[in-house]
Amino acid sequence: MDSQKRFVWPFILALALHVVLFSLFALSFDTKPKESSEPAPEIIQASLEEIDVPPEADARPEKQDESRVEQQKAAEEKRQQLAEQQKAEAAKAAAEKAEAERAAAAEKASAQAEAERMAAAKAAAEQAEIAKAKAVVEAAKAKAAAEKAAAEKAAEKAEAARAKAAAEKAAAQKAAAQKAAAEKAAAEKAEAARAKAAAEKAAVEKAAAEKAAAKKAEAARVKAAAEKAAAEKAAAEKAAAAKAEAERMAAAKAAAEQAESAKAKAAAEAARAAKAAAGENAKNAIQKKVNNSWIRSPSATTGMKCTIKVRLTSGGQVIGEPVIIASSGDEIFDNSAVNAVLKAQPLPVPTDRELFNKEFRSFTFTFEPRG
Amino acid sequence: MCLQPVLFFWVKVFKGRSGSISTGFFELNDRGNDVSFFRRMLLVGLIGFHVPITQAEMNIEITEGIESAMPIAVVPFGFQGTAGMPVNIGSIVNSDLGRSGYFKTLDEQSMLSRPSTAEEVRFNEWQSLGQNYLVIGQVAEEAGQYNIQFQVFDIYKGTQVLGYRMVSPPPELRRTAHQISDIIFEKLTGNKGVFSGRIIYITSQSQGKNQRIHRLQVADADGFNPQTIASSPEPLMSPAWSPDGRKVAYVSFERKTAGIYVQTLATGERQKVAEFPGINGAPAWSPDGQKLALTLSKDGNPDIYVLNLSTRSLTKLTQSYSIDTEPSWSPDGSQIVFTSDRGGKPQLYIMPSSGGGEKRLTFTGDYNAGASFSPDGKNIAMVHGNRGDYRIAVMDLATRTVNVLTEGRLDESPSFAPNSNLILYASRKGGTGYLSAVSIDGKMQQKLVFDSSEVREPAWSP
């Protein structure tokens, strides 16, 4: 019991220490920066400065202003004159236009009177023609009416003869129908008796058939039960066999997986080594490309040092502008360094995502010419 | 890694009860109890703390780079006006920058587009041509003057580096173009440009039957627009600009004997300031423009004198039996460098400008002469000769090291440009003379070609 108690404190302290260490370990991970989209190259609106204009140029514009005012006044006057002239001309034109319109109206009236006279004469002639025609039509109408009356009389006579013949035909038909009906009733009676006999026969046969069917069904049921039992047995056997198969396969799979994992581990090791090499290669490639793009400024001397920080997209493009974190003191040297980095885009960063994020997403260049 | 000490602890806590396992640190007393619980905790805690909290960022060192001229594209400037542009400003800027050796310009045929405003620029197009910088511009004619605007872009950053607007009357258009080159050059290289300066030099043309005509000419720094300011059938030598750039002093033999003249460039009037018996040569202006240092041999052998131009008083600075000549003032006026053969062969010496206290400067090579102080006072350019091979060299006054810059074999008359970076000098190859410029670190070389036959003794305007 005593020893148990003595374990409590160390246990608690050990736990606390573990917690602290784990939290430190967790904090050691860098937070992943968000990947921003590449900015489009901007064309920045140029702002221009003016250098001092020599004094002679200033004196001249003043004189020009004075004469310009006078010129403007004269122009105004001229403009007014022109306006008045234009107004007089416009009035004259209006008067002339009214005259012309009046003359035109008078002509139109006389022409119209002529036309009316001619129209009246034409109308009178037409009316005489119409009266003549009407008389002819009426004569024809009277003749037609007389002919119609004669025809009607003849038609009436024919109708009376026809009616008589029809009545005789109808009487004969009625007698024939009555005969036919009596014959039909006798035939129906005989049919009914026959049908009844047939029905009784059918009923007897039906009963016999039902019995036979019941027997058959029984036999079928027994057979089905037997078949079911057999089927179940077969299924059970199949299941057992399948289970055995599955177990066999599982065992084989486990063995294969083990082999796989061993292989994977070896592959992972190789990949890690390759990644490290890829990182070195990328670093050298970037160094070479920037060196080839760096046109040293004429002021570059050994001892100058400039440090630039860049952030890259996964394609090797610089995000925003490289930031000078340590200037060399010479603006032109710093500029040449920034230009070198921008000119070397796209930088040959490694394709492996994890390696890129770890080392190549954000890093620095130090420009230090040596000889 | 971090868990191991924890496990160790764990084992010890429990195992320590029953067994007598102990190490140096994890001690147990005779009864098998823990000696110091807290000591253990502390130890493990300290060991456990070597869990790395942050990872060190990768750093790539770039130590080489390439030495190359900076690729720059100068697009022909757009023009708005009646007749065509009288001066092709874009092409002047293009030639200046390319000739400087610092830039590699793009020829017009390779350009995919010709933008003249910022909106028309497609940066990835110029990136595909491998250009680092782009210069575009526009010229608009307005009331007889020209409104010029230009902008320079950094192609890879996609930003404007500088932009200016200026007005220029027609006769000044070339000068304005050179000023544009100066502005661009200074911004992109950190050195002041010298494209808008002028140079003076002597040409010598044969007129047949042993007659030559010697001319003193002033031209733009690119050799354009040469103007003759003096000409003579007799030799002209040693032109020297006054510090304000308005006057030139030179030696002329037109009166069959050497005389030193000072000529005002704007008016063409000149004064004869020295015509002593014997040698009158190598005039050098003091930085305040009041005095001329000269070589005169009137007292027997060539010595250095200082002539005050307003009072015409003469002060003798050197007194020796050797030849002392070719004086050059330091920019602060306190010292004079000159050539002397008092040591046996021509070498450079330095003394206070009040005279006396001469000290030898050059100790390498068998010939050092023709000294020229740089405007910033840090360097001296000279002709450095070895067994007949004469080259231009520069001495750093702080360290006294001498660097040979050119290839010779007959290079002479070095003259510093106002930015203290370029040195203009004369050279001969195949019998003809021509002018060249070299940068002070020896990396940039340019050749100025003139259509006259022989060109000598250049001097850059201040």
Q: 301-360 in A: which are within 8 Å (CB) of B?
A: 307, 321, 330-332, 335-340, 342-343, 358-360
What number is the average pLDDT over the span A344-370? 89
Chain B: residue nearest A304 by CA?
Answer: B63
Least confident of A367-371, B129-133, B269-273: A367-371
Task: Establish if A19 belongs to a structural domain.
Answer: yes
The answer to whether B160 contacts A47, with C-beta atoms less than 8 Å apart, is yes
What number is the average pLDDT over the span B301-322? 93
Higher local confidence (pLDDT), B433 or B18 = B433
Q: Is the Cβ–Cβ distance between A334 and A266 less than 8 Å?
A: no
Q: Is the Cβ–Cβ distance between B307 and B273 less than 8 Å?
A: yes
A81: closest CA among A91, A89, A69, A92?
Answer: A89
CATH code where residue A321 lies: 3.30.1150.10
Q: Is the Cβ–Cβ distance between A287 and A337 less than 8 Å?
A: no
The winner for highest mean pLDDT among B49-63, B174-188, B428-442 is: B174-188
Q: How many CB pairs under 8 A join A and B?
A: 174
What number is the average pLDDT over the span B288-317? 93
Please give the helix or strand (H or E) that residue B219 lies within, else none.
strand B212-220
- Assigned token pair, A266: 């070896």
Q: Of A144, A163, A182, which closes a domain?
A: A163
Task: Reply yes or no on whether the pLDDT at A196 is more than 90.
Answer: no
Least confident of A111-125, B179-193, B207-221: A111-125
The answer to whether A298 contacts B191, with C-beta atoms less than 8 Å apart, is yes
The answer to whether A46 contacts B118, with C-beta atoms less than 8 Å apart, is yes
B137: closest CA among B93, B203, B190, B106?
Answer: B93
Higher local confidence (pLDDT), B298 or A37 = B298
Angstrom CA distances, B335 to A40, A70, B141, B202, B318, stand at: 60, 65, 51, 28, 13
- Return the pLDDT at A174: 79
- Assigned token pair, A117: 């006279």
Task: Establish if A198 belongs to a structural domain.
Answer: no
Residues A158, A298, single domain; the answer is no
Chain A: residue nearest B45 by CA?
Answer: A17
Q: Scanning the structure block, which residue is given the tokens 């921008």? A: A342
Task: Establish if A261 belongs to a structural domain.
Answer: no
DSSP string, B133-188: EEEEEEEEEETTEEEEEEEEEETTTTEEEEEEEEEE-GGGHHHHHHHHHHHHHHHH
- Percentage above 70 pLDDT, chain A: 87
Label residue A42 exposed, middle or buried (CB < 10 Å: 0-12, 13-18, 19+).
Answer: exposed
- On chain A, the residues whose CB falls within 8 A of the CB of B165 are 48-51
Q: What is the pLDDT of residues B338-352, one digit of tens each?
A: 999 998 999 999 999
Task: Reply yes or no on whether the pLDDT at A304 is more than 50.
Answer: yes
- Return the pLDDT at A24: 92
- Assigned token pair, A49: 């400065």
Average pLDDT, chain B: 86
Please give the helix or strand (H or E) that residue A186 lies within, else none.
helix A55-293
What number is the average pLDDT over the span B23-51? 55
Of A14, A287, A299, the CB nearest to B190: A299
Q: Is the Cβ–Cβ distance between B382 and B397 less than 8 Å?
A: no
Least confident of A115-119, A200-204, B25-29, B241-245: B25-29
Q: 116-135 in A: which are within 8 Å (CB) of B?
A: none
CA distance A353 to A313: 11
Task: Establish if A308 belongs to a structural domain.
Answer: yes
* pLDDT band for position B2 (cuts 50, 70, 90): very low
- Return the pLDDT at B85: 82
Q: Of A101, A135, A163, which closes a domain?
A: A163
Of A28, A49, A307, the CB nearest to B53: A28
Average pLDDT, chain A: 80
Chain A: residue nearest B187 by CA?
Answer: A332
Q: Is A363 on the interface with B (CB under 8 A)?
A: yes
Edge-to-edge strands, sheet with B347-352? B324-329, B335-340, B347-352, B359-360
Residues A16, A156, single domain; the answer is yes
Cross-strand pairs, B79 = B139
Q: Of A127, A145, A163, which closes a domain?
A: A163
Chain B: residue nearest A369 by CA?
Answer: B63
- Return the pLDDT at A47: 44
B203 residue type, one letter: T
- On chain B, the residues whose CB falls within 8 A of the CB of A28 are 51-54
Q: What is the pLDDT of residues B136-181, one digit of tens each?
A: 999 999 888 999 999 999 999 999 999 999 999 988 899 999 999 9
Give residue B93's Cα distance to chain centre: 18
Q: Is the Cβ–Cβ distance between A322 and A309 less than 8 Å?
A: yes
Q: What is the pLDDT of residues A24-63, one digit of tens each?
A: 998 877 555 444 444 444 444 444 454 443 444 333 444 4
Of A13, A30, A359, the CB nearest to B58: A359
Of A17, A25, A287, the CB nearest to B62: A287
Least confident of A135-139, B116-120, B291-295: A135-139
Task: Establish if A181 belongs to a structural domain.
Answer: no
B380: closest CA among B366, B355, B361?
Answer: B361
Q: Where are the beta strands (DSSP E) in A298-354?
A: 306-311, 323-326
The dihedrals phi and psi of B102, each to the nearest 5 degrees, come to: -85, -20
CA distance B454 to B396: 31
Q: Where are the beta strands (DSSP E) in B346-378?
A: 347-352, 359-360, 367-373
Task: Establish if A33 belongs to a structural domain.
Answer: yes
Task: Establish if A228 belongs to a structural domain.
Answer: no
Cross-strand pairs, A32 = none
- Return the pLDDT at B49: 53
Domain range holding A35? 2-53+67-163
- Return the pLDDT at B230: 93
Task: Establish if A252 belongs to a structural domain.
Answer: no
Number of domains in chain A: 2
Closest approach of B139 to chain A, Cα-based (Å): 15
Closest approach of B352 to chain A, Cα-based (Å): 33
Please give the span between the terminal C-alpha atoms of chain B, in angstroms, as a whole number. Answer: 72
Chain A: residue nearest B63 by CA?
Answer: A369
- Return the pLDDT at A41: 45
CA distance B339 to A345: 56
B196 residue type, one letter: S
- Return the pLDDT at A190: 80
Region of B226 please: left (phi>0), alpha (psi -120 to 50) or beta.
beta
* pLDDT band for position B451 (cuts 50, 70, 90): low
- Return the pLDDT at B429: 80
CA distance B157 to B85: 32
The answer to whether A360 contacts B58, with C-beta atoms less than 8 Å apart, is yes
Task: Reply yes or no on whether the pLDDT at B14 is more than 80.
Answer: no
- On chain B, the residues whose CB falls within 8 A of the CB of A302 are none
* pLDDT band for position B366 (cuts 50, 70, 90): very high
What number is the average pLDDT over the span A73-90? 77
- Return the pLDDT at B24: 42
- On chain B, the residues whose CB falls within 8 A of the CB of A297 are 189-190
- Return the pLDDT at B51: 47
Chain B: residue nearest A360 by CA?
Answer: B58
Of B48, B57, B156, the CB nearest to A364: B57
Q: 249-288 in A: which are within 8 Å (CB) of B?
A: 283, 286-287
The dihedrals phi and psi of B274, each to the nearest 5 degrees, come to: -150, 130
B169: closest CA among B194, B142, B149?
Answer: B142
Task: Reply yes or no on whether the pLDDT at A16 is more than 60.
Answer: yes
Q: What is the pLDDT of residues B203-243, one digit of tens each?
A: 988 888 888 899 999 998 888 888 999 999 999 999 999 99
- Assigned token pair, B322: 């050797």
